[in-house]
Structure 1
Amino acid sequence: MLTKKEQRLRRSRQTRIRIAAQGVARLTVNRTNLHIYASVISGDGTKVLATASTAQAEVRKSLGGAGKGGNAAAAQTIGKLIAEKARAAGVEKVAFDRAGFAYHGRVKALADAARAAGLQF
């Protein structure tokens, strides 16, 4: 019997195999109870082109201090920020890699905000 974490990692491996075959940049998301992290990784998987997270000092200030990074509003902020950084790095189109997390709640809020800010996936 697989643990909850092992099941998530198994799902994420399947997704990464499919995305690698496409050869496009990927927007990968990781969430913890306190924070949410997003990175745009190049199509060949060798370079991180842009990152954003609620653990960054300037983002924490805008959210209202410590402990505010684990909600959907914070995820929306990170979605907008990662889209801006990705576009500044010359990336318009990405594959969304939710790393085995359910497309629901904070992960969905981040994805919707990134789409609204002009990132295509």
Structure 2
Amino acid sequence: MTLRYKVPLEMMHAANVLFGGIYSKNYKKLNRGYNILMTVAKVYAPYVFFKGCFDDTNLRKLSKAMAVDQNDVSIFNFDTRCINWSSYLVNTNIPAAIKYANNQKAKAGNA
């Protein structure tokens, strides 16, 4: 990641300094994007490289047992197919992970 993205970004920063700051707006925007991307990558690294397997057999059995009584289904709705996962990731999970990572950085800076 460093060679592909950070080195050209630093070259742009050097050109910005040499040419009197004409690229400062672009550099700041790209640098901010790079920092956000690296933060998200660090936060999600344990999940990406996790080699575990999740088994939902018991959840499916419970769901089938509850399908008999519609009152239970309406009270305990845990059908994962009704979740809009892309919206959840973009609007909830990723912003929360970034906020958590920023809080951890702030705590590390104060320590």
Q: TM-score by structure 1 length?
A: 0.25
Greater share of strand: 1
Greater share of helix: 2
Which structure is higher in RCO with an 8 Å CA cutoff and minimum separation 6?
A: 1
Larger Rg: 2
Q: TM-score by structure 2 length?
A: 0.27
